[in-house]
Amino acid sequence: MKKQRGLVDDLALLDSVVLASFIASLYGEYELLDTRIERLLLKNDTSALIKTLKKEIKSLGRSSYFYSYYQAGELAHNVYQLKSEIEDNVLPDFPDQAFQLVNDLLETAENSLNRCDDSDGSVGDVYLDICLLWLKSASLSSVPATGWLPIIKQLADSNDYGVLDPLLPNANILLSQGELRQLAAYYEDGLRASLKTKKRDEFRDISWSVNLHSVAEALKDPAIYIQATLLVSPSPNHMQMESMVEFSLHCGAYDEAMKWLQKDWGESGWKKPNATRLSLLADCYQGLNQPEKRLAALIELMDIEPTFENFQKVEPLVSEDDVRQLREQLIIAVLKESELDDQLDPLLKLNEYSKAEELAIKGVNEIAEWHYTQLLSLLDEVPEHGHILRIILLRCLADDILEGGRTQAYHHAARYLHQLDKLDQEVNTYSSLPTHVDYMERVKAKHKRKSSFWPQYNVL
């Protein structure tokens, strides 16, 4: 952001004719850039800008072009630009027209999501933001004759693609407290009626319950939120109790939260619900300003779930001797973990690099099977002086790309190999690992036919 501001300041010093000529020279290079230049020229003619935006939104809703996973970001960017133009250049002075544009843009969600591979959620995320802009622009525009309440109900009932998820939790932007109470009563009545039907529709029950929960969020009312849970599940499970407690804590309703935190939540397979309860109990005691009880809850939490995150919560609250003891207990517990990742991550966070390195060398074949996101996440934790562990992770990342023949990621593999080249100059011994020379000979022999990769490595 700072660099961008500096760029704006530097561009402002240029002669306007020179800058205009440069922008004109870019026109025709890229369709999206052309569109942005055209909109820029319309900033002083709002009526023309509105007309252009209407046309582009209509085109967006009619298009049948399919965006692949790698292209979906382009579609997300296009939709985002339309949203930004409306919010920045139409809404401030023309809220009624802005609302209609946002409404039309929101209606394109179904078509957009049906014609893209939105596995990473970028397109959906933009439409979630548009939903929030719908509420904002509606609150600034003229109130329809029917009021907003029936319109909100109708929209909430048509949330097939999830892009309207923010609607009810943020309805307080548009609706009064009285209207929100009416809406809560509507969903509660609907839920009760649905639960009484002879032929139960579980999906419909959940829909009524979710909407009631959402209105409770808008009202910041824990009583309604809890009621929405208990109507469906009179004996809530640990996940439902967790949700009710978290919402109560968020609203500052500590006494309400405490009602669900007094009893043991037990165990559930590999999960530890009681550890969750103790963590929330500590948060509740903090809100109630009861530090001694909070510490007791955190100490008990460390006993049943000794993790680095829980250690961090206790560390500032106890003596140095207690910290050392808790740290030793944590290291012992970590070394007993069955998964290598569950050992390496906390050891690195505890600055126990030598222990982490020893385990990584022994488990190098296991690490090679990890997903690249897991490798990158751990790489971020490795200190600069952790050469051996960095080498293991970088080799696994490069091998994963090359052996999978992922040409679009070859530039990453080239970068990893160059990092290994530099690390080789700083390493005194590779322990039981192949040396850099041996490793590179194997890579070159195995992947010598990947003609599109080696130029990328050689050019760096």
Quote the distance between the C-alpha of residue 145 and its chain's center: 39
Give the structural domain span for 280.
242-336
- 354 domain residue, yes or no: no
Terminal-residue alpha carbon distance, the chain? 28
pLDDT band at 5 (very low <50, low <70, confident <90, very high): low
- 246 domain residue, yes or no: yes
pLDDT of residue 199: 79
- 67 domain residue, yes or no: no
Name residue 67's beta-bridge partners. 116
Residue 371 has pLDDT above 60, yes or no: yes
Rounded to whole angstroms, how far apart are CA atoms 226 and 236?
Answer: 10
- 215 domain residue, yes or no: no
* Pair (28, 126) in one structural domain: yes
- 149 domain residue, yes or no: no
- 106 domain residue, yes or no: yes
* Pair (440, 379) in one structural domain: yes
Look up tokens 């961008």; give the residue: 4
* Pair (24, 128) in one structural domain: yes
Tally the domains of the chain. 3
* Pair (326, 377) in one structural domain: no
**Which pTM was predicted?**
0.79
Mean pLDDT estimate for the chain: 92
Q: What is the mean pLDDT of residues 260-280?
A: 88
- 155 domain residue, yes or no: no
Which three-class secondary structure state does DSSP give residue 335?
helix
Rounded to whole angstroms, how far apart are CA atoms 90 and 117?
Answer: 31
Query: Nearest Cα to 89, choosing from 47, 43, 57?
Result: 43
pLDDT of residue 202: 84
pLDDT of residue 34: 65
Neighbours of 157 (CB within 10 A): 11
Q: What's 324's domain CATH number?
A: 1.25.40
* Pair (330, 375) in one structural domain: no
* Pair (248, 286) in one structural domain: yes
Name residue 271's beta-bridge partners. 268
Q: What percent of the chain has pLDDT over 90?
A: 85
* Pair (372, 433) in one structural domain: yes
pLDDT tens, position by position, 52-111 = 999 999 999 999 999 999 999 999 999 999 999 999 999 999 999 999 999 999 999 999
Q: What is the mean pLDDT of residues 370-391?
A: 96
- Tell me which of 9 and 173 has the higher pLDDT: 173
- 233 domain residue, yes or no: no
pLDDT of residue 10: 77
Q: What is the radius of gyration, based on Cα positions, of the chain?
A: 29
* Pair (138, 25) in one structural domain: yes
Residue type, 421: D
